[in-house]
C-alpha cells in the first residue's frame, strides 16, 4: 500500500503508472506473493526514526516487488524474518520518510512512538 504509493511508478500488466515519486524506486505487481507472513526487522543503520538495535515486528502480504535498478535505495533494517524489499533489507529512508513493506505492529514495537516524536523534534529543529 503505502510504499507503493510513495514509489516513482507501479508496473502492472505491461503498463507503467506514475506515483508520488517520494521513493527512488519502481514497484512491479506480480501474480504470486513476494512476501507473506510475520516479519521482524532489525534496525542496523542510522536513521531519524529508530535507534540501531530496535526490532520492528509486523506482517507482510504483498504481490509486488521493488524493480532492481542500478542504484538500490538506502535501507535502515536487516530482515531477520520475512522477505522485505530486496536482498533481505527493508525500511527505505528518504529525508523525513520511512517506508517498509510490513506495517509496524505498534504493540509489539513500543519504540515506534518515541522514535516518531524524536524524528518530529529533529525535523522541526532543522527548519
102-113 pLDDT tens trace: 888 888 888 888
Question: What is the number of other CB atoms lying within 10 angstroms of the CB of residue 95?
Answer: 8
pLDDT for residue 70 is more than 80: no
How many domains does the structure of the chain reveal? Answer: 1
Average pLDDT over residues 55-76: 90
Which residue range(s) make up the domain with 68? Answer: 2-126
3-state secondary structure of 72: coil
Q: Is 113 in a helix, a strand, or coil? A: helix
Interval 33-41 mean pLDDT: 92
DSSP assigned state of 84 = T
Residue 25 pLDDT exceeds 90: yes
- Angle made by CA atoms 104, 23, 53, in degrees to the nearest 5: 40
Q: With 90 as the cut, is the pLDDT of residue 16 above it?
A: yes
Q: What is the pLDDT of residue 82?
A: 92
Closest CA to 19 of 119, 120, 99: 99
Q: Residue 26 — very low, low, confident or very high, per pLDDT cuts 50/70/90?
A: very high
Amino acid at each position: 500500500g503505502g510504499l507503493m504509493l510513495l514509489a516513482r511508478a507501479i508496473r502492472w500488466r505491461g503498463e507503467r503508472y506514475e506515483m508520488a515519486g517520494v521513493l527512488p524506486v519502481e514497484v512491479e505487481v506480480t501474480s504470486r506473493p513476494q512476501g507473506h507472513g510475520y516479519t521482524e526487522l532489525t534496525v542496523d543503520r542510522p536513521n531519524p526514526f529508530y535507534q540501531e538495535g530496535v526490532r520492528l515486528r509486523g506482517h507482510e502480504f504483498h504481490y509486488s516487488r521493488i524493480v532492481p535498478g542500478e542504484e538500490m535505495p538506502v535501507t535502515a533494517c536487516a530482515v531477520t524474518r520475512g522477505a522485505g524489499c530486496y536482498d533481505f533489507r527493508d525500511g527505505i529512508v528518504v529525508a523525513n520518510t520511512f517506508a517498509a513493506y510490513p506495517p509496524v505492529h505498534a504493540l509489539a514495537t513500543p519504540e515506534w512512538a518515541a522514535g516518531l516524536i524524536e524524528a518530529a523534534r529533529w525535523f522541526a529543529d532543522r527548519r
